[in-house]
Structures are given as structure tokens and as C-alpha cells.
Homo-oligomer: A and B are copies of this chain.
């Protein structure tokens, strides 16, 4: 079903760099399994990747995988949770360093959001597109940080509106739009992009502030 070697003519992710959060990026077998799985899941999807594909990419037997993870699903769960957790932490750190002005905060959030999706493009794709393959128990670890991340966005926008710094037809829709446009960056940003990640982030911050009618 999977495993076909022919290069797909349409890619799910333009980036070619497999980037794991620091804590996971260990040089031991476990880390190499996560790395290989991330690259394959991002390229072919979870269901389209076999346990033997992963093992082959690592250079081990498929049975060896089971000494490190109890199932294929657990590998995905760990990647997805790490992705959502790293995303959450990035945004939380950005907020923490942004002062009290909702405009500054929102700008910092969008910047962090976009940069995360350029830097961890594969992780973002996998964490978002493959969650439905996880059982309720295993998906919980991803849902938690994801919900908190959403609250960071909506909370900041709500506060900005209360303080009269934002003016937008619908706060929730604005959050959805800003989130959605940033998420999409993970699909197309890659080595062929004509601009740096920083430039993309700066521009998306401008877009977001315009969507929110920010008064500066």
C-alpha cells in the first residue's frame, strides 16, 4: 500500500529538514526512530507509512522498534504530543516576553506561531494532520497543550478588544483565520522559499494586526 519509491509529484511539506524538539533529538536508537518516523509521517502520512519503512530508514529490524515503543501508534502519539507541547511552549515564552500591551502580545504570538511552523514544519504537519489516527487515550496528551495554545490566542484577542486596541467583526473567527494562515506556512515554507522565515513572520504579524484592526 505504501512503500512505493516513485517520488510524489505533490508534497505534503516543502521542507526537507527533519527537526525534532531538542529533548527528543537524541542520537540513540530511540531518537533515530522518532526522527525517521517524523520524516516519513510528514511525507506519506501515518497510515501510508509502514513499521518496516521506519525501521528501514533507521537501519534496524522492525522488531527492534518494539523494544523502544509498544506500538506504531505510540510513536505517532509521542511526536504529536511533542509537537503540540513545543508549539505551546514557544507561544507561552513569546507571551511572557512581550509586555502588557495586547498588540505587542499578539504580535509576539503570531511571530512565534509562524516561526514554529517554518522551523518545525514536519512536526506541525504531523501533529495536526494525523491526530485522528490516535485512540482517545493516546490523543489526550496532544489535546491538552493544543487547547492551552488556543486560549493564548483567543485570550489575547479578547483582552485587546476589551481594551479597545482591537476592532474586528468576530474575535473567534479572527483567531481561526490567524491560526489557519500560520498553520498553512508549514506546507509551503521550505528551501525553495523566496524569503526568510523572519520575513514571513514579520509580514504575517502585519496581516494579523490588520485583521484585528489594531490601533498602533
Residues of chain B contacted by A44 (CB below 8 angstroms): 47, 132
With known contacts A47-B1, A180-B180, A139–B207 Cβ distance under 8 A: no
Whether B11 lies near A132 (C-beta < 8 A) is: yes
Task: State which of B172, B182, B184, B210 has its C-beta within 8 Å of the C-beta of A183.
Answer: B184
Whether A139 lies near B183 (C-beta < 8 A) is: no
Question: What 0/1 pattern do residues 133 to 157 of A give for CB contact below 8 A with B?
Answer: 1111001100100000000000000
Whether B45 lies near A10 (C-beta < 8 A) is: no
Whole-angstrom distance from the CB of A111 to the nearest CB of chain B?
A: 14
Closest to A180 in B: B184
Whether B169 lies near A176 (C-beta < 8 A) is: no
Q: In whole angstroms, what is the CA distance A178 to B131 when docked?
A: 25
Closest to A13 in B: B132
A211 CB-CB contact with B under 8 Å: yes
With known contacts A181-B180, A213-B210, A173–B133 Cβ distance under 8 A: no
Whole-angstrom distance from the CB of A118 to the nearest CB of chain B?
A: 12
Closest to A6 in B: B135
**30 A–B pairs (Cβ distance < 8 Å), ordered by A:** A1-B47, A6-B135, A6-B136, A8-B132, A8-B133, A8-B139, A9-B135, A10-B131, A10-B132, A43-B132, A44-B132, A45-B45, A45-B133, A47-B48, A170-B195, A172-B194, A173-B203, A173-B204, A176-B188, A177-B181, A177-B204, A178-B181, A180-B181, A180-B182, A180-B184, A180-B185, A181-B181, A181-B184, A183-B184, A210-B213
With known contacts A181-B180, A184-B184, A210-B213, A47–B2 Cβ distance under 8 A: yes
A200 CB-CB contact with B under 8 Å: yes
